[in-house]
Chain A
Amino acid sequence: MPDIAFVKPALPRGGALVLCMTEGDPPAGLAREAEDASGGLLSRALEAAGFKGRKGHATTLYGLGPWTRVVAVGLGKAAELSAEAAEAAGGAIAPAVAQEREATVAAEALDPALAAQLGFGAVLRAWRFDRYRTKEKEEDKPKLERLAIATGNAAASKSAFAPLRAVADGVFLARELVSEPPNVLHPVEFAERCKGLERLGVEVEVMGPKELKRLGFGAMLGVAQGSAHEARMVVMQWKGAPRGKKQKPLALIGKGVTFDTGGISIKPAGGMEDMKWDMAGAGAVVGAMAALAGRKAKADVVGLVGLVENMPSGTAQRPGDVVKTASGQTVEVINTDAEGRLVLADVMWYCQDRFDPRGMVDLATLTGAIIIALGHEHAGLFSNDETLAQQVIAAGAAVGEKCWRMPLADAYDKQIKSDIADMKNVGGRPGGSITAAQFLQRFTNGKPWAHLDIAGTAWSSKDAATVPKGATAFGVRLLDRLVAETMEEG
């Protein structure tokens, strides 16, 4: 991961040079100087390459001036500069200079905050998960150690960057957890890693099967009973609200199925390997807690994750089993592959009972149906609270983690009526994501609640501006922004 430094504008004498340019404008500032130093070659080369300065576009030129390479990066139109454009530029820079040890970025076109945002985009894009590569060739490894961003007010950029760097660390933690293979990251190991947040000042409690049984977590333990690994629930508390301004906490709840075979209702083999990321909701919650603590958010937030592995075995839960949840409500398990909602049911009920939160936001890779509904650009948002829903949508839109509202209604709730218990855990194919949300709603106890079905957005099959392919950490930035916008005002 490169260090990000903010420096006064000055052309470097060598190494890589990155020029951030607005669309349709002639080179200015350092770019102007580089243009002169290259004897006017720069403009002509850019024109020949078809570079126009469009948002997130990058063109690399070799053999100009004293530099190993010159990368021109587009910011879009000068009048439309935004955090998103700056991040996209940073995201385009990272791969373009990955083979350099150092690069200087001419970013005078950006104000200090946007310059920081550019650095943020660069680190988000530069992240990779190479823990299990043992034979990678030296020339294939990224080498970038330092990205020096030249900006008008380096000190202001530096202080704007600090909290972003903390958020990036939260994103990285989530991506790492999601990327880890399931033989390494089982519930016990996951809980162990949550303990690492104590370094940041987060209070972390880990509960095992004994305590969960005492709390009446029959649904979650039912899911876990086929696994060789014990279940865990982790409760993380960040108490950042200033003294005298104590507030009801916001609760973040994550589904953490470290591997989902489907259980006895076993999944088809093709693509099952992806089920290591069936804990991406929990990963996002842990990442968000790390982000909030890392930037010392002035808010009280609790994060809860339910960690289990869903396996078929002689001790596994069967279709037809009836389990009793922590709320006292009973559930007929029709399909053991609809296990996420069983885990969340107990954790959500416990959460609202213990913390009486101002609101609960749960994240879960819950249904394939949400991909059929929306695809991969939006997470599905379900909520019983108009205000909270709008806040979540706004926070997501601001950070590029888009949510699409989906409906809830009694008519859908009827689909999960059971002949033997208070409800069953699936409502059939029609409206599959909606009936899953209806199920969860029965465990909110009427508290304000938003549910994000992130099955389509947790993992990406291709690179995006600031998100390399693979684990996206969808939700970390959204939750961080939600807290910043709704709890840290004033």
Chain B
Amino acid sequence: MLKVSFRRAEPDPGLPVVRPVAAVPAGFEVLAAARNFRAQAGQVLEPAAAPRHVFVGTGAWTRRDCETAGAAVVAHLADAPHLQLDARGIAPERACMIAAGAALRAWRFDLHRTRDVRPGPSRLTVLTEDPAAAKDAWEGVVAPVRGCLFARDLVAEPANHLTTKSFVKRLEGLAEHGIHVDVLGRKRLARAGFGALLAVGAGGSTPPLLAVLRWRGSIAAPPVAFVGKGIVFDTGGLSIKPAQGMAAMRADMAGAAACAGAMLSLALRRSPAPAVAVLAIAENATDARSYRPSDVLRTLSGRTVEVVDTDAEGRLVLTDALHYAVDRFRPRAVVDLATLTGAIVSALGHHRAGLFGNDAALTAALAAAGEAVGEALWPMPIGESHRADLASDIADIRQCVPSARGEGGWATRFIPDACHAAAFLREFVGEGVPWAHCDIAGVDTQDAPHPLGPAGPTGFGVRLLDALVAAQFEEEDHHVSP
């Protein structure tokens, strides 16, 4: 991660200097006009080279604007190892948010490169009149950044390195930050009846596991629960995926990684809110022991599920994790994150995640948190017919609806699978618990550099959940649903 330090000093003339501005700086009007620089968030103006001295627009100084500005600077000065942020005269909180954006954009994953590693920004010195105040502010601001980068590192790891076992090993490392980590192995899962998780993970080269992360917080309230899908690799199982694009399935644990990252963030900034993350971790492999289409599974809730397509495994492992989270922790609210469906990509593309839920106040709070941190969501429906479509001939519910490929009409080619999946999950949450489901299949990874990061894993969800908790769950009497 970008090393950020705070100093009270004049800029070092030997290093690039970045000056954040909310308006065109005096004396540079002509150049600004020529370059179409209006000091909008993330716009960069570089008047002269050597030493590099650039202005970056901060728009309205919102969190998003500041982070965008910081990130833009790193993208612009991509070959400079050491940058200076001239934040003199700028509130320390704002300077920190700019630094946060820079740290997010400067993240890279070079673990598996052995030679010719390209240098990039690795140090940022923030010049400020009050380094102590800035350092204090940084503690709070850097926590979700660290959480996000923790998640990105996990998502970036290929599945031969990130097995179910090594995934939980890395989660166990969070204990050093005060997070209690409990891992349920095959035996405990079998004894408790995690029929869905065990079936999905049956064919994997490493066993299915349930990781339970707990942050105690300091207020007397039930925890907020995060539930994450953690499929370390998804071949599709017997309903095997086409070869093209399968490599991306190493990221099918991005929901679990985001939940873990959010827990790290809460712990790093000593959030008063009690929180728990329940992560269903498995490998969906094609194997003689793999579960089959048409299998009937008994889930932890006791409900039976007919398997239609073994590639719709995420919703299966989530049923057990959701039931466990609700049943064991009686949480104030449950939010699950999952790279769940291709349908959500068809619906919303790569710029928004799908947001489903059973509680208007919770979904509204999540949507607002998403806008604030630049992890945008869009509300999606769970209609009566979505649930009705899941009626099974043999079990309590079927897991998804098979495509009829045009038989019975043109429309049968198109299945609202994201809505079906949400309708399915809702059944396992039960009544009385505010629940939201974020289908992040379109946003967990970006093919091109995006405002707050390079191409690759985004860590989507960490900063979202962190902002949700900060806004909704850090007071005892503030319940999201009145």
Contact = CB atoms under 8 A, between A and B. Distances in A.
B346 A270 contact: no
B351 A409 contact: yes
B343 A372 contact: yes
A484 to B, nearest CB: 26
Contact of A429 (B346, B411, B412, B417): B346
A373 interface: yes
B383 A271 contact: no
B346 A373 contact: yes
Interface of A: 267-275, 368-369, 371-378, 404, 406-407, 409, 411-412, 415, 429-435, 455-456, 459, 461
Contacts of A412: 349, 351
B363 to A, nearest CB: 14
Given A407-B378, A434-B349, A461-B408, A372 B414 contact: yes
B409 A459 contact: yes
B392 to A, nearest CB: 18
Nearest to A377: B383
B348 interface: yes
Given A268-B406, A270-B407, A461-B408, A373 B348 contact: yes
Contact of B346 (A274, A415, A430): A430
B448 to A, nearest CB: 10
A267 B352 CA distance: 29
A412 B442 CA distance: 13
A378 B345 CA distance: 18
A434 B351 CA distance: 11
Contacts of B349: 412, 415, 430-431, 434-435
Contacts of A271: 406-413
A404 B381 contact: yes
Nearest to B407: A270
A415 B442 CA distance: 15
B419 interface: yes
A167 B205 CA distance: 63
Nearest to B341: A372
A441 to B, nearest CB: 15
Contacts of B380: 373-374, 404
A463 to B, nearest CB: 13
B238 to A, nearest CB: 24
Nearest to B450: A411
Given A371-B416, A409-B351, 7 more contacts: A373-B348, A375-B386, A377-B384, A378-B383, A406-B347, A430-B349, A430-B350
B385 A430 contact: no
Can you list the 9 inter-chain pairs with the closest CB atoms, starting with the nearest? A270-B406, A431-B349, A373-B347, A271-B406, A271-B410, A375-B416, A371-B414, A430-B349, A274-B410
Contacts of B414: 368-369, 371-372, 456
Interface string B312-352: 00000000000000000000000000000001011111111
A415 B345 CA distance: 14
Nearest to A407: B378
B423 to A, nearest CB: 10
21 contacts: A268-B413, A270-B406, A272-B406, A274-B409, A372-B346, A372-B414, A372-B416, A372-B417, A373-B347, A374-B380, A375-B383, A376-B385, A377-B383, A377-B386, A404-B380, A406-B378, A407-B352, A412-B349, A415-B349, A430-B442, A431-B350
Interface centre among A373, A374, A404, A407 (most CB of B within 10 A): A373
B419 A374 contact: yes
Contacts of A435: 349
B269 interface: no
Given A369-B347, A433-B347, A377 B385 contact: yes
Most chain A CB inside 10 Å of its own CB: which residue of B349, B351, B352: B349
A273 B409 CA distance: 8
Interface string B170-196: 000000000000000000000000000
